[in-house]
Amino acid sequence: MRSWPGVVDTALQIEHGGPMASIALHVNGEPRNVEVADASEPLLYVLRNTLGLTGAKYGCGLGQCGACTVLIDGEAVRSCVLPVSRVAERKVTTIEGLGTPEKPHPLQAAFVAEQAAQCGYCAAGMVMTGAALLQKKPAATLEEAKEALAGNLCRCGTHQRILRAMTRAAGRTVT
């Protein structure tokens, strides 16, 4: 058992300490009750670790990059800075709830058609932000798409393909 003499005698036992608060969430069309030790825990961590929805990604924890974007009552929101307690009773949609590989949302299908991902780490946030725009403006223009995505960062330089996917999903001609 002693893998590193003198350091660790036994495997470290760590439990969730302290009282747990129960919060009623509504995620991807289903009620989900979660227990949290700290009600200020950002929604992102609850989605990824408690609910196993790992599509939304940690990028900055500062609301600066958009990798963690989810929809709350239809609005694109940064889940990395949103305390889970603030989400109770509101409708959360994550990338997993938007569509599946077999039955994708039209914007997800457009991302596949345009091969609009390289590493893909920012992709979920892009899709969620884009889907929120298309919900409000189904025929959004290229300029509107650029504005809507201005707060979502991509490092691979996939911007042009993402914009093409937005154009395609908006029913416009992809040039």
Total residues contacting another protein by CB under 8 A comes to 76
| Helix 159-169, helix 106-113: angle, nearest 10 | 130
Contact 144, 132 (CB under 8 A): no
User: To the nearest whole angstrom, how small is the minimum distance from the Cβ of residue 21 to another protein?
Assistant: 13
Q: What is the closest distance, in whole angstroms, from the C-beta atom of residue 73 to another protein in the complex?
A: 20
Report, in Å, the least distance between residue 141 CB and another protein: 13
Of the candidate residues 98, 140, 169, 170, the single one contacting another protein (CB under 8 A):
98
For residue 24, what are the β-bridge partners? 33
- Mask 34-73, x = binds another protein (CB under 8 A)? ---xx--xx--x--xx--xxxxxxxxxxx-xx-x------
Stretch that binds another protein, among 71-79, 91-99, 133-141 (CB under 8 A): 91-99
Picking from 25, 43, 26, 28, the residue whose alpha carbon sits closest to that of residue 97 is: 28
The torsion of the CA quartet 47, 92, 143, 160, rounded to 10 degrees, works out to 30
